[in-house]
Amino acid sequence: MPGEPGIWALVLADMTVFATFFAVFLIARIHQPRLFAESRPQLTVAFGFVNTIVLLTSSLFVACAVRRLRAGDRPQATRLVVGAMVCGLIFLAIKVLEYSTEISHGINPATNDFFLYYFIFTGIHAAHVILGLAGLAVVRHFVSRRGPGPHDQRIAEVGASFWHMVDLLWIVLFPLFYLMA
């Protein structure tokens, strides 16, 4: 198993919390189908779609970085981690643009229950992206060192595991908010 057992405990705990969020959202949707059906089209699917592509690309970069590190190619691994970090920053920039657009159209967490859940869940996800970027910065530091350290591979795997979880959460959030009728 890559990384440390602790990261897997964290991933499992985080995924359990998000599974609870998703269940609460779906129960609310069952109780207010018309409100949710009328609210969803007010989101811009293009923002969510582009962010999905951006995060999937970042996951590819992270996976390739771990592979390059295992092969001993630290310079390429470093470039790939930086590429993943750039993708994470692009995701956040798009999310800020999206939030700004929604707020300028009078949509905010107080608009209705759908948007309350939308802003809370995607905001918590954005916080995870920020934490993941901090983790990737640590990974970049260790991967880019001249002399390999004994734990560099494990640190990269821990960072990659967290980053992949962040991407997986978005893969659920995107259809839940942007696509479900």
The one-letter amino acid code at 70 reads R
Q: What pLDDT is recorded for position 24? A: 95
Helix (H) or strand (E) holding 108: none
- Residue 147 CB partners (closer than 8 Å, separation 6+): none
The one-letter amino acid code at 125 reads H
Q: What pLDDT is recorded for position 120? A: 97
| 96's tokens | 């800020």
Instruction: Output the pTM of the full model.
Output: 0.92
Report residue 169: phi and psi, to 5°: -60, -40
Per-residue pLDDT of the chain (181 residues), as tens digits, is 565 778 888 889 999 999 999 999 999 999 999 999 999 999 999 999 999 999 999 999 999 999 999 899 999 999 999 999 999 999 999 999 999 999 999 999 999 999 999 999 999 999 999 999 999 999 999 998 877 677 888 899 999 999 999 999 999 999 999 998 6
Instruction: Give the span between the Cα atoms of 162 and 108, in whole angstroms.
Output: 29
